[in-house]
């Protein structure tokens, strides 16, 4: 499946972005990285990914806002979104509430640090569902 699948990773932390990129590329996925939601919107203006791996807390446009934008676009609304969260560790430092996380329209949630096997299993499952 991965040979022709493109994954958009939207993550402002360079190290986390590189790790996710390496995990996905090692399994044959094509990866495009964006540093925030605004940058991801620019990329999606030229290319439509098969799935989006999306951080919540980013500058310029956070993950909740970007996910809402994706779901509001007819061309992109069916793209699976995996939301990355550090909420359990940083909830008191965050401007975002648990309620926002519950009501966002992401398909799946993963806690950071990302476990490679969990990310790959969720990604494969979402891509299979999208093919149906």
CATH of domain 2-127: 3.40.50.2300
Which segment of 18-22, 63-67, 88-92, 118-122 scores lowest on mean pLDDT?
A: 88-92
Q: What is the mean pLDDT of residues 78-101?
A: 65
Q: What residue segments make up the domains of the chain, in order of their start?
A: 2-127
Checking if the pLDDT of 96 tops 80, the result is no
Distance (Å) of CA 108 to CA 20, 32, 42: 16, 19, 23
Q: What is the mean pLDDT of residues 22-26?
A: 96
Q: What b-and-e string marks burial along 17-39, b requiring 16 or more CB atoms within 10 Å of the CB?
A: bebbbebbeebebbbbbbbbbbb
Name the more confident of 90 and 106: 106
Mean pLDDT of the residues in the chain: 87
Q: What is the mean pLDDT of residues 81-88?
A: 80
Over residues 42-73, the pLDDT tens digits come to 999 999 999 999 998 888 888 989 999 999 99
Checking if the pLDDT of 108 tops 80, the result is yes
Predicted model pTM: 0.87
Checking if the pLDDT of 25 tops 60, the result is yes
Share of the chain above pLDDT 90, in %: 64
pLDDT of residue 52: 98
């Amino acid at each position: 499946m991965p040979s022709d699948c493109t994954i958009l990773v939207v993550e402002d932390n360079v190290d986390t972005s590189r790790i996710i990129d390496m995990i996905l590329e090692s399994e044959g996925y094509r990866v495009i990285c964006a540093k925030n939601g605004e940058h991801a919107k620019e990329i999606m203006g030229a290319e439509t990914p098969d799935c989006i791996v999306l951080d919540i807390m980013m500058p310029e446009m956070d993950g909740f806002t970007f996910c809402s934008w994706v779901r509001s676009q007819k061309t992109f609304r069916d793209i699976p979104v995996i939301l990355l969260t550090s909420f359990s560790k940083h909830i008191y430092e965050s401007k975002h509430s648990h309620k926002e996380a519950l009501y966002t329209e992401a398909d799946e949630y993963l806690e950071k640090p990302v476990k490679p096997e969990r990310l790959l299993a969720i990604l494969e499952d979402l891509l299979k569902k999208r093919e149906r």
